[in-house]
């Protein structure tokens, strides 16, 4: 049995595939970003999923693609954890950008972008990922991501820049006590996921002028820093992965048009495409 996982900071989707390339089961765990989550908690989030534990002795390979897995140290941390839990499995841990590539363009050259809890982009030349800059995460980068917009919503609420009718609904939906917010931001683990939780609010009010303006501004930032530096032409395929891109596809296409670029496809959840790619190209 082979496990294929697409892991973000908020959640991780797992699919088990048997030797005949048939799906056995799929589960979703909490996020497994080894760059921001302590090893003990990473372990707990996996072992608490009983479906995974029921097959741990029969798993021959694990292909885990995740946020925070773009540098050697977090890859080593997560690899060790998975090897300990699944003793008979060959473990491959790679960054979520590679999963995004496999799930969208496969092995064909394209620009591929992620807009989820965090954000990132790369150009895949058909063999390797080319990245203009390393990602420094939610504090300094992650333009147009869930945590990026979560910060903006909180700032606008406290600075009273949010339209009153929306602010009333925002206040009803979240605990906005100042001490609670600061506790979650500065005393609790994974503040990026906490910030991204506010961004879900945008999906409910995506037709509001205030939300549309915020999204468009964030997308412009993303194109400026994460797409335009690649200097690609309008003929270059561009794929987006993630809920932010999916729910605001119309605005994304407007911003792309501003730069004479065309979005090839937007994929909300890449796991099914990722499994299909593995079944065709990587399965043992």
Residue 280: CB atoms within 10 A of its CB come to 11
Quick check: is 91 in a domain?
yes
- Look up the pTM and report it: 0.87
- What's the number of domains the chain is made of? 1
Quick check: is 118 in a domain?
no
pLDDT score at 73: 95
Give the separation between CA 116 and CA 244, rounded to whole angstroms. 6
Using CA atoms of 254, 115, 72, 39 in order, give the dihedral in degrees to the nearest 10: 170
What's the chain's Rg over C-alpha atoms?
19
Quick check: is 67 in a domain?
yes
Give the separation between CA 188 and CA 127, rounded to whole angstroms. 40
pLDDT score at 208: 94
Helices H, strands E: what count in the chain?
12, 10
Q: What is the CATH number of the domain that holds 46?
A: 3.30.420.40
Domain that holds residue 30: 2-100+271-281
Quick check: is 92 in a domain?
yes
Give the separation between CA 28 and CA 9, rounded to whole angstroms. 12
Quick check: is 132 in a domain?
no
Give the separation between CA 236 and CA 165, rounded to whole angstroms. 42
Quick check: is 20 in a domain?
yes
Quick check: is 217 in a domain?
no
Quick check: is 61 in a domain?
yes
Is 101 in a helix, a strand, or coil? Answer: helix
Provide the residue-wise pLDDT of the chain in tens; the chain has 284 residues: 999 999 888 889 999 999 888 899 999 999 999 988 999 999 999 999 999 999 999 999 999 999 889 889 999 999 999 999 999 999 999 998 999 999 999 999 999 999 988 899 999 999 999 998 877 878 888 999 999 999 999 999 999 999 999 999 999 999 999 999 999 999 998 898 899 999 989 988 989 999 999 999 999 999 999 999 999 988 999 999 999 999 999 999 999 999 999 999 999 988 889 888 988 887 55
- How far is the CA of 258 from the CAs of 163, 224, 255, 262, in angstroms? 27, 11, 5, 10
């Amino acid at each position: 049995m082979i496990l294929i996982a697409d892991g973000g900071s908020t959640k991780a989707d797992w699919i088990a595939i048997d030797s005949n390339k048939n799906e056995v089961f799929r589960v979703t765990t909490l996020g497994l970003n080894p760059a921001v989550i302590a090893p003990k908690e990473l372990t707990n989030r996996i072992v608490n999923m009983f479906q995974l534990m029921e097959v741990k002795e029969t798993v021959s390979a694990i292909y885990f693609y995740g946020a925070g897995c773009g540098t050697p140290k977090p890859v080593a941390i997560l690899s060790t954890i998975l090897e300990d839990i699944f003793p008979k499995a060959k473990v491959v841990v790679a960054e979520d950008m590679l999963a995004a590539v496999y799930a969208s363009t496969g092995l064909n050259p394209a620009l591929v972008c992620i807009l989820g809890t965090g954000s990132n982009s790369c150009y895949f030349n058909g063999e390797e990922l080319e990245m203009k800059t390393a990602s420094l995460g939610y504090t300094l980068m992650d333009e147009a991501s869930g945590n990026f917009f979560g910060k903006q919503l909180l700032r606008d609420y406290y600075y009273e820049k949010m339209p009153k009718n929306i602010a009333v609904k925002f206040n009803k939906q979240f605990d906005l006590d100042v001490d609670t917010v600061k506790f979650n931001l500065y005393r609790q683990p994974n503040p990026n996921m906490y910030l991204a939780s506010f961004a879900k609010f945008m999906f409910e009010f995506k037709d509001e002028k205030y939300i549309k303006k915020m999204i468009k501004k964030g997308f412009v930032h993303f194109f400026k820093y994460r797409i335009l530096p690649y200097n690609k032409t309008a003929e270059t395929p561009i794929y987006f992965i993630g809920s932010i891109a999916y729910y605001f596809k119309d605005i994304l296409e407007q911003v792309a048009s501003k730069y004479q670029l065309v979005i090839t496809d937007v994929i909300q959840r890449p796991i099914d495409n990722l499994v299909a790619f593995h079944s065709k190209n990587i399965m043992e």
